[in-house]
Amino acid sequence: MNVKIRKGDTVEVISGRLEDKGKRGEVINVLIKDRRVVVQGVNVRTKHQKQVQTQAGRSINPGRIQFENPMDISKVMLVCPTCKAATRVGVQRDNDGARRVCKKCQAFID
């Protein structure tokens, strides 16, 4: 599968929940088979954790844990490091291999 968004890229949310739309963040993880990405500070969920006793006698702290939930890769758009705009990504092949290209300013992303 050809995924044009990679871990460490800066992306902008183009659709989805109103509080997340327009936010920019760094990609933490890419789930290729599910076509989903985890973006830092976007799609944050709260999980309530119960206190659990482990076999070593320690307990896991109870409370509310916040974490970034994966979102569909079609809801985010790559931000070009050169022109700082959300853009589509092209692939240009040359002797060095395939490289990602910004469709707006034609600059290499890699």
User: Using one digit for the tens of pLDDT, what is the confidence trace for 37-89?
Assistant: 999 999 999 999 888 877 777 777 788 989 999 999 999 999 999 999 999 99
pTM for this structure? 0.81
Q: Nearest-CA neighbor of 70 among 38, 46, 47, 41?
A: 38
Asked if the structure places residue 92 within a domain, the reply is no
**What pLDDT is stored for residue 85 in this prediction?**
94
Q: Quote the number of domains for the chain.
A: 1
Asked if the structure places residue 43 within a domain, the reply is yes
Asked if the structure places residue 22 within a domain, the reply is yes
**What pLDDT is stored for residue 16 in this prediction?**
87
Provide the residue range defining the domain that includes 20.
10-79
Asked if the structure places residue 99 within a domain, the reply is no
pLDDT (average), residues 27-43: 95
Asked if the structure places residue 109 within a domain, the reply is no
| DSSP-assigned letters across all residues of 31-69 | ETTTTEEEETTSSEEEEEE--EE-TTS-EEPPEEEEEEP
Asked if the structure places residue 5 within a domain, the reply is no
**What pLDDT is stored for residue 60 in this prediction?**
74
Asked if the structure places residue 27 within a domain, the reply is yes
